[in-house]
Amino acid sequence: MKKFTSLLIITLAIGAIAFSGCSSRRGTDTGKVRIGYSTPALTNQFWNRVTEGIQKEGEAGGIDVIVADAQGDSGKQLSDIEDLVQKKVSAILISPWDTDTAASCLRKANRAGIPIIVVDIGTSGGEYASFIVSDNKEGGRMAGRYIAEKIGDSGKAVHIQCQLGARNAQLRGEGFEEIMNEKGISIVAKQPADSRRDLGMSVMENILQKNPDVNAVFAQNDEMALGALRAIQTGGLEGKIMVVGFDGNNDAIDAIREGGMAASVGQQPEEMGRIAMQTAVKIINGETVDKQIFVPVKLITKDDLK
Amino acid sequence: MLKKLGGIIGPLVGLIIICIILTIMSANFLTAGNLSNIVKQISVNAILATGATLIILTGGIDLSVGSLLALAGAVAGHFLLTAGIPAGIIAGLIVGVIAGSANGLLISYGRVAPFIVTLGTMTILRSLTLVFTNGKPISNYPESFLAIGEGEIFHIPIPVLIALLVMLACHLMLKHTRFGRYIYAIGGNEEATKLSGIKVKLQKTKVYVLAGLLSAIGAIVFISRLDSAQPQAGVGFELDAIAAVVIGGTSLSGGQGGIPGTLIGALIMGVLRNGLNLMEVSAFWQQAFIGSVIILAVLADQLRKKGD
């Protein structure tokens, strides 16, 4: 057993050395500016698209981009940052796995004196040069305006929330309610459904018992919106209640195309990557940048999908 | 008659009291639409809780049912879309049987405590679901499959009908077959059952296989109702199922209780959730209410037994 364990450790060590060798070979001594990007998981479509945006902008500007994939592991993300610090990149972009991981990563970069830019998610500590994030509140307003336009001022709306601690989602809700108040549209029910489709369905089923005459539903993410849509369909009210979600995920896009969902507020990951890269370049050139930069979101309706 | 009702009297009275309170508090509670809504919403939990009842009667526990629901649902969903409805349903049920067998064999023949085995399989099955689905939902099933979740026969929603059939079959099995009596005997006194010549290990394994199959049936109903198999589906369902069993008066130490109690337990859970929603109680408080009801139910049961 002991023999096996030591053999395992040796194998892992060799593997690790071999792998780190692979990733450090690229981009050394080319004389170009080098910028590192630490992504939480490339298997995730969203991060994949952010990475594409960063790489494209890097190519255009003749910058070497070193991408490190944490593969969904916060420990690996921390060591990825250590590696980037070792490589003495000019700036680091990070999309943190979570806000606590972000804090540890930021402190590492801070100690090395390398400017670090947080791309989405946010951080619970450390110093960052800029924080690039989707304009969630404006997205909520867009959803609100679209609903108001379609149902008129005398309509009734339902608001389905993500788990109550999720800050990005809360901002969406605040933006939505701002418009509802402005237009005098009453929100007859407001319930959390924990970002889940099945809970979105049962919450909506219950709401429909009390308020079968509502005109619109805004859900803070697409999963809950799709659940609410199911409740509306199985309740025989399809076409009578408009559903607007947030994210622009694949199932939601299909539902919008088929006419079940009215719209979804889509984030623009490529744009987020592009803006992040531009911000990094500005910082390297000594220009001042805003502490928080909003990436525009856009409303996706059936007309956009033709 | 009263004596025959036995252990379910307490939960039944509790259910009636809750219904009366909700009828007074919310005008929308006691309507045909809402009641049909409640029974549709509890159908999946009732199916899972039926499996949980069988297992708890033997003195065991199964924490893996929620994860199994997700995996069986994902596999069924995938094959529904690629190989047709019968293939999808069968594939889902096979997943249930395999996972149930793994639980049963490890518990009976591997002699590992049920809590540990199913805690392990709970995380393994969840992980397999994420691998299988690549973290994405599998959606948009054919209309004829969605009929399982949406349709009605004689004005009874099909999910409810399936749950009732599953419960009736298991109730009859428990009361009128040798296998049913073995289940009670194992929970009552496993050692004595073994000494009387019954193959306890085999019988226990069969119980877990059956519970796995029931989880898979629950999964089929679930994905058909939602028109989507979700990688994160069923999180916490195992606790809902166990709660329904316990509220229904089945003893966690095994040997006592039955399916009718579980049906009432599932109804209490469903009625409470629905009622709290109708009254727009925040989701944070809802959990505290439901937790209190679980404790009250068991407490009342204990006091009543003392009184006998």
CB atoms within 10 A of CB A38: 28
Compute the distance between CA of residue A166 and CA of residue B50 in angstroms, rounded to an integer: 35
Q: Which of B102, B100, B92 is nearest to B72 (CA)?
A: B92
At residue A15 the predicted structure's pLDDT band, cuts being 50, 70 and 90, is low
Compute the distance between CA of residue B163 and CA of residue A2 in angstroms, rounded to an integer: 53
Interface membership of B171 toward A (CB under 8 Å): no
Interface membership of B196 toward A (CB under 8 Å): no
pLDDT of the residue at A306: 77
Q: Which of B47, B90, B41 is nearest to B69 (CA)?
A: B47
Are A226 and A256 contained in the same domain?
yes
Read off the pLDDT of residues A57-90 as tens digits, 9 standing for 90 and up. 999 999 999 999 887 778 889 989 999 998 899 9
Q: How far is CA B13 from CA B9, B267, B270, in A?
A: 6, 12, 16
Q: Which of B37, B39, B160 has the most A C-beta neighbours within 10 Å, making it the best mutation to test the interface with A?
A: B37
Contacts of A224 in chain B (CB under 8 A): none
Are A275 and A230 contained in the same domain?
no
Q: What's the angle, vertex CA B240, arms to CA B236 and CA B242, rounded to 5?
A: 115
Q: What is the percentage of chain A residues whose pLDDT exceeds 70?
A: 90
- Checking if the pLDDT of A25 tops 60, the result is no
- Checking if the pLDDT of B308 tops 70, the result is no
Tell me which residue has tokens 């006419």.
Answer: A259
- Answer yes or no: is A14 within a domain: no
Does an H or E element contain B274, and which? helix B259-278
Nearest CA in chain A to B232: A196
pLDDT of the residue at B170: 97
Q: Are B274 and B37 in contact (CB under 8 A)?
A: yes
pLDDT of the residue at A178: 96
Q: How many domains does chain A have?
A: 2
- Checking if the pLDDT of A28 tops 50, the result is no
pLDDT of the residue at B9: 82
Are A83 and A202 contained in the same domain?
no
Are A93 and A156 contained in the same domain?
no
Please state the rounded mean pLDDT for residues A224-248: 94
- Checking if the pLDDT of A21 tops 60, the result is no
Domain that holds residue A181: 136-266
Q: What's phi and psi for B6, nearest 5 deg?
A: 45, -120
**Structure token digits, residue A83:** 């590696």
Interface of A with B in 150-179 (CB under 8 A): 164
Are A251 and A167 contained in the same domain?
yes
- Checking if the pLDDT of A1 tops 70, the result is no
Contacts of A206 in chain B (CB under 8 A): 37, 274, 277-278
Tell me which residue has tokens 């000494």.
Answer: B195
At residue A6 the predicted structure's pLDDT band, cuts being 50, 70 and 90, is low
Compute the distance between CA of residue B41 and CA of residue B233 in angstroms, rounded to an integer: 15
Does an H or E element contain B284, and which? helix B283-307
Pairing of strands A242-247, A292-295: unpaired
Q: Do B283 and A191 touch (CB under 8 A)?
A: yes
Please state the rounded mean pLDDT for residues B106-118: 95
Of the candidate ranges A105-119, A257-271, B288-302, the one whose mean pLDDT is the lowest: B288-302
Q: Which residue stretches of chain A are H helix? A: 2-25, 45-60, 74-86, 99-112, 136-151, 167-183, 197-210, 222-234, 250-258, 269-284
- Answer yes or no: is A103 within a domain: yes
pLDDT, averaged across chain B: 91
Higher pLDDT, B85 or A249: B85
pLDDT, averaged across chain A: 88
Please state the rounded mean pLDDT for residues A249-278: 94
Of the candidate ranges A15-19, A161-165, A254-258, B280-284, the one whose mean pLDDT is the lowest: A15-19
Interface of B with A in 220-259 (CB under 8 A): 222, 225-228, 230, 232-233
Q: Which residues contact A75 (CB under 8 A, 6 or more apart)?
A: none
Are A198 and A283 contained in the same domain?
no
Q: What is the percentage of chain B residues whose pLDDT exceeds 90?
A: 67
Are A211 and A283 contained in the same domain?
no
Q: Taking CB atoms and an 8 Å cut-off, how many pairs form between chains A and B?
A: 65
CB atoms within 10 A of CB B53: 31
At residue A7 the predicted structure's pLDDT band, cuts being 50, 70 and 90, is low
- Checking if the pLDDT of B290 tops 90, the result is no
Interface of B with A in 23-52 (CB under 8 A): 26, 28, 31, 33-34, 37, 40-41
**Does domain B8-301 match CATH 1.20.58?**
no
Domain harbouring A99, CATH code: 3.40.50.2300
Which parts of B95-171 are beta strand (E)?
138-139, 152-153, 156-157
ipTM of the complex: 0.70
Q: Are A191 and A161 in contact (CB under 8 A)?
A: yes
CB atoms within 10 A of CB B164: 16
Please state the rounded mean pLDDT for residues A184-195: 90
B120-149 as b/e: b if 16+ CB within 10 A: bbbeebbebbbebbeebbbbebeeebbebb
Partner-chain residue, chosen from A164, A191, A201, that has the shortest CB–CB distance to B226 = A201
Compute the distance between CA of residue A238 and CA of residue B150 in angstroms, rounded to an integer: 14
Are A288 and A226 contained in the same domain?
no
Are A177 and A250 contained in the same domain?
yes
B34 CA: distance to closest CA in chain A (Å):
6
Give me the count of residues in chain A: 306
Are A292 and A234 contained in the same domain?
no
pLDDT of the residue at A169: 87
Residue B67, burial from CB neighbour count under 10 angstroms (0-12, 13-18, 19+): buried
Are A239 and A161 contained in the same domain?
yes
Compute the distance between CA of residue A261 and CA of residue B274 in angstroms, rounded to an integer: 25
- Answer yes or no: is A214 within a domain: yes
Nearest CA in chain B to A254: B140
Are A153 and A257 contained in the same domain?
yes
A198 CA: distance to closest CA in chain B (Å):
6
Q: What's phi and psi for B229, nearest 5 deg?
A: -100, 125
**Structure token digits, residue B107:** 């518990």
Read off the pLDDT of residues A100-159 as tens digits, 9 standing for 90 and up. 888 889 999 999 999 999 999 888 889 999 999 999 999 999 999 999 999 988 899 999
Nearest CA in chain A to B34: A209
Please state the rounded mean pLDDT for residues B160-173: 97
Q: Which of A68, A149, A133, A154 is nearest to A105 (CA)?
A: A68
